[in-house]
Amino acid sequence: MRFAGKNAVVTGGASGIGKATALRLAEEGAQVWIGDIDEAGGRDLAETSNGRIHFQRTDVMQADDIEALMQAADAAGGLNVVFNNAGAGGSRDPIDQISPDDWDRTQALLLRSVALGIRYAAPLMIARGGGAIVNTASIAALQTGAAPTAYSVAKAGVLHLTTMAAADLSRYDIRVNAVCPGFITTNIFTSALGISGDKRTQANGAIGHIATRAQPLQRAGRAEDIAAAVAYLASDDASFVTGTHITVDGGMTIGPRHSWDPQVPSLFASLEAFAG
């Protein structure tokens, strides 16, 4: 019960990583305000939470919506925890083809939203003497090959925003950290391709299968894996941790595939045929 008596905000809380984190924080005692554009999903979660999760329609592209969400949680007795997490795939165009508007929209959804989440949470936390903020970045912030360019650059921005905000806010006892998920089986992939209904269920089955063998640990990454790291960073267990990130990726960023997958030959294995 690390969050007993605390109030938390989770953006993108109607699905995937945000939903799992809202449930985890509520399970550990928090009152949680989820903000999302998915009204059906958000209401559904709130209704089944025994009054511990509250839904407020929030579009993180809209500054006023973000500010109102922070104020709703604060009005319940103080805002203690914020998880800036809402997101989607953004433009998949390569850098030589992306339009200026698509670039701006992707940055606004994935980076500006996090900056504004911190912007509107911080004054409320300062007034109450501190708090903890966690931002969702990605392994795409750390290396190429994980996601499209605009998305990856936005997530890299989230990581540096995390360190800058940690520096700005440490004097107020506000900690700011990030989580870098690897390949996590959520609806983000089917949403990016506009796949819904029965086909979404089938596609998610296929994604789960691919995810099992995508990284050194041979199981699919789950939203709950990320929720556990976020709960740690948001809790007093991490009271001396700020300005950093935790990578939760089953080892995907360990190194090249041949370093951990015996089915992919290393350079030396490929050269053995030439050796005496």
Ligand X SMILES: NC(=O)c1ccc[n+]([C@@H]2O[C@H](COP(=O)([O-])OP(=O)(O)OC[C@H]3O[C@@H](n4cnc5c(N)ncnc54)[C@H](O)[C@@H]3O)[C@@H](O)[C@H]2O)c1
Q: Does 118 bind ligand X (CB under 6 A)?
A: no
Q: Looking only at residues 191 through 220 of this chain, which bind ligand X when binding is defined by CB under 6 A? A: 191
CB of 162 to ligand X, least distance (A): 13
**Residue 151: active-site member:** yes
Phi and psi at residue 273, to the nearest 5°: -60, -25
Q: Tokens in use for 187? A: 């609806």
- Pattern of binders to ligand X over 44-73, x per CB under 6 A? --------------xxxx------------
What is the edge-to-edge ordering of all strands in the sheet holding 81-84?
53-57, 31-36, 7-11, 81-84, 131-136, 174-181, 245-248
**# residues near ligand X by CB under 6 A:** 29
Helices (H), 8-81: 16-27, 39-47, 63-74
* 109 touches ligand X by CB under 6 A: yes
Question: Binding of ligand X at residue 83 (CB under 6 A)?
Answer: no
Q: Any contact of residue 186 with ligand X (CB under 6 A)?
A: yes
Rounded (10°) CA dihedral 227, 230, 232, 234: -130
- Tokens for 213, please give them: 């063998």
The answer to whether 250 contacts ligand X (rule: CB under 6 A) is no
253 lies in the binding site for ligand X (CB under 6 A): no
| Binding mask of the shown chain, residues 141 to 180, with x at each position contacting ligand X by CB under 6 A | ----------------------------------------
According to the binding rule CB under 6 A, does residue 225 interact with ligand X? Answer: no
Report the nearest approach of ligand X to the CB of residue 65 (Å). Answer: 8
**The Cα angle at residue 113 between residues 128 and 151, in degrees rounded to 5:** 140
Residues 6+ apart with CB under 8 A from 14: 34, 36, 38, 41, 42, 44, 45, 55
**Spacing of C-alpha 41 from chain mean position:** 18
125 binds ligand X, rule: CB under 6 A: no
Q: Which residues are catalytic?
A: 151
Instruction: Please give the residue ranges that form the binding site for ligand X (CB under 6 A).
Output: 11-12, 14-18, 36-38, 41, 58-61, 85-88, 109, 136, 138, 181, 183-184, 186-188, 191
